[in-house]
Chains A and B, each alone.
Chain A
Amino acid sequence: MPQFGSFTLLLALALSVYTLLAGAFALWRFKTTRAEDGSGRLGETARRTGIASFIALSCAAFALVWASFTNDYSVSYILHHTNRALNPAYKFSALWSGQEGSLLLWAWLLSAYGFVLRIRHRVDVRLSAYASTILAGIQVFFLLLLNFAAPPFAIQPGPVAADGFGLNPLLQYPEMVMHPPLLYLGYVGFSVPFAFALGALMMRYPGEKWIHITRRWTMVTWLFLTCGIFMGAHWAYSVLGWGGYWGWDPVENASLMPWLTGTAFLHSVMMQEKRGMMKSWNVWLIFSTFMLTILGTLLTRSGIVSSVHAFAQSDIGNWFYGFIIIVFAICLFTFFKQKDHLKSENKLESLVSRESSFLFNNLVLLAACFTVLWGTLFPILSEYVQGSKVTMGAPFYNRVNIPVGLFLLFLTGIGPLLAWRSTSLRSIRRNFVLPCIAMVVACIALIAAGVRPWSAGDAMQATIFSLVTFSLAAGVITAISAEFLRGASVVRTQTGKNLAASTVLLVRRNTRRYGGYLVHFGIVVLFIGIAGGAFNQSHEQEMGFGDSMTMGPYKLVCQSFTQESKPNFDTEYALLDVYKYGKKITQLAPEKRFYIASQTSSTMVALHSTLESDLYVIYEGKNPETDRPIIKVFLNPLMNWIWIGVLIVVLGTLLALVPNLNKATRSRAVPEPPLVEAEVQHVG
């Protein structure tokens, strides 16, 4: 099987090189001669070999998974990342647990995206040919890496080992089976809008159709990246046992940066679609997003920054440096060559308009991205200037990003209330009064309920931050709800249906708009969850049989502590009865595992999760002097709101991907209404 895997990788490289060269030649012939004279057929062969490369890479990925399941320890990668007793699900996830395997996953996903693009080439044959050729170029780079720099099927020298070294215990967790593929689907997916944008620029594509074609690609990719990032955060929360979910590690930052620029692109691209503005900006946003995904990969794999979950330092980083330089040079050259094609068709007419809110939204998102990039790279700069590295940890990011995040939350609320072109004073008054009232009322209610910064003592700063966030959130939620209600009322007047049915019809008529509002709502819920972190509590205590500990409304009583041996690991755990207001509600069993194959240990957090707070219990180990377990307990308020917020974001994005109720159906269902005053005012 290793030989088969190596062969299919080499075959995939040959096919991708052909797709790149034949595709590029066919496009060049067409461009220079403007005649089909065979270039069409050549282009078609390029498309088909591109499809074949997907099949070849699928075979290679299958070969690696097969080697993992059959315990083929002649393959160095399998030896170092699996063992016989490993759970089958983790044997499968071994595909992306190491450098070589994850690069193979990257190349396979890229070829899968390319496969879909090439199958759907009739959407726009010429533009798809450009995008396919660009994707083939990217794929050639990854296949060169896989064939020559990081081969996943490298044979282990010497006799074949009886058992493998096992998988990193931190990766033996259900979310780890899902988190990397989702993250990679996001990373790799941005190659497609990048390829379309670069292709459209190269061929001077008329109009904005390429944006319509790539809209779904971009949204799906963004969705995958969002899910990947937050699944990683949930994994960190559930596995690492420090009570938090985001540590501002360079590898985490690497995933956040393309998400921020991708989010900015999703917003600003609307200006190009609707008003023909910001063309150069959008092109550079998607170029930057793609380059940031490669930069993130470089940071993860080169070892240039210290990270707890980066791959070991290797010379693979030089390949990525080279690739980024080539991509940047191509983007820059194409941009300057075709710059006149990117002239804006319209100019901004008012400061108080949807366009300017998008501009500021982009500004804030890019400022956040710059902060993250700056924080990630500053240690290198510091070493260069001062001769010593520094740590850029949570205190830096929290202090710098809190104002930026609050400004973003503010824009999330006001942006959708502004009309395109310009917004009248009357409209501002009508749309903003209610959210402002909600904000003030929420602030007063919170203060009355005890969220008082001046009496918070040590937690004054955190309490101010929470108060501002909660108040802003109330305003934004009111603004979003008012938008739904206003629209639904108009539909109700037109159709005579009840409010619920009118809301459904309203959403079906414009899924993108209302899906977007739902995404904003999810972001607000997420912010509320993050702000809850200001009230976290923790306590650590040695607990013998019958000992108890109180944390907020909870009381934990130690029932027993013991140890067991399982095929893959030895475990120590404590059984704790949890009481709330004197009533037993559950039993928790935090444990510490020692994995035999890899000779490493890992904590298994016990969690009691409610909408109000998370009771997060860690078994830290035994005190060697007393032989009693040390238990650390966190009470994390509103933690679930973060995951619920992400779920709403996912639902909103899925809703935005659903096609609108088409015109014909709509006209059958509802007669075209006369132009109403509200609609006219919406235009300003």
Chain B
Amino acid sequence: MLVKRWMQGFAVCLLAVVMLGANDSGTRFSRLGHQMVCACGCGQILLECNHVSCPSSGPMINELHAQMAAGGSDTSIFNWFAAKYGATVLAAPIRGGFDNVAWIAPFAVFLFATLGTGILIYFWRRRSVLHAPPAGPAGMLDADREAMRERIRRETEY
């Protein structure tokens, strides 16, 4: 029962951590502006481009305001910018389709690797239990004590 409760608690925490990245990060303008890069070639996020005479960031910000004022959804705004400036204007692949692979692959690899590690540990443990040496006598001779001391030293060195 206690284990079950711990497992449930852990699952909730894990879900909370995994879902951290799935929330809004600012006002709509700030959020959208931080998901695009400036088209001037500096490689910076649109709202962080710091060139005073940048030929791109000012007009792009105005376009973003205009698109938002026109009542477009996030997706339609992104699509509008991607159509005008190319897909590289989006700071991350968010157009759907093959772009989804970019997001799924790291989590899939991580989950499969975790699962694989869990299975590996399970089989190793099972094998070591099957091949465990018989238990020794309860009392400890000097030689045993010395051997134990050496093992402790070796295995607790770091």
Q: Which residues of A contact B (CB under 8 A)?
A: 241-244, 247, 249, 270, 274-275, 306-308, 346-351, 356, 359-360, 363, 366-367, 370-371, 374-375, 378-379, 382, 385-386, 388-396, 398-400, 402-404, 406-407, 419-421, 458-462, 464-465, 468, 510, 512-513, 516, 603, 618, 620-623, 630, 632, 675, 679-680, 682-683
Contact = CB atoms under 8 A, between A and B. Distances in A.
A350 to B, nearest CB: 7
A349 B53 CA distance: 64
A349 B124 CA distance: 7
Given A247-B43, A403-B17, A403-B18, A675 B145 contact: yes
Q: Tell me what chain A mostly uses at the interface: helix, strand, loop, or mixed.
A: helix
B20 A402 contact: yes
B12 interface: no
A359 B158 contact: no
Interface residue tally on B, bucketed by range: 35 or more
Nearest to A465: B20
Contact of A351 (B53, B89, B125, B131): B125
B52 A620 contact: yes
A308 B40 CA distance: 12
A616 to B, nearest CB: 11
B156 to A, nearest CB: 5
Contacts of A307: 43
Most buried by A among B89, B91, B124: B124
Given A274-B155, A403-B18, A356 B92 contact: no
A632 B44 CA distance: 16
A512 B154 CA distance: 13
B151 A683 contact: yes
A13 to B, nearest CB: 37
Q: Tell me what chain B mostly uses at the interface: helix, strand, loop, or mixed.
A: helix
B93 interface: yes
A663 to B, nearest CB: 10
Contacts of A243: 48
Given A375-B102, A388-B88, A393-B45, 17 more contacts: A270-B158, A306-B43, A349-B125, A359-B117, A363-B114, A366-B113, A382-B99, A382-B102, A386-B98, A390-B102, A394-B91, A396-B91, A459-B26, A461-B23, A510-B158, A622-B52, A630-B52
Interface string B111-128: 001100100111011011
B152 interface: yes
A420 B93 CA distance: 43
Interface in B13-50: 16-18, 20-27, 30, 34-35, 37, 42-45, 48-50
B103 A241 contact: no
A379 B26 CA distance: 27
B25 A458 contact: yes
Contact of A390 (B48, B99, B127): B99
A516 B156 CA distance: 13
B93 A382 contact: yes
A348 B121 contact: yes
A386 B99 CA distance: 9
A461 B20 contact: yes
A512 B98 CA distance: 47
Given A243-B48, A395-B92, A516-B158, A404 B110 contact: yes
Contact of B102 (A396, A461, A512, A682): A396
Most buried by A among B25, B44, B88, B106: B106
A403 B98 contact: no
Nearest to A371: B106
A379 B43 CA distance: 14
A557 to B, nearest CB: 21
A414 to B, nearest CB: 13
10 contacts: A306-B43, A348-B121, A366-B113, A403-B20, A458-B27, A460-B23, A464-B23, A468-B17, A675-B152, A682-B155
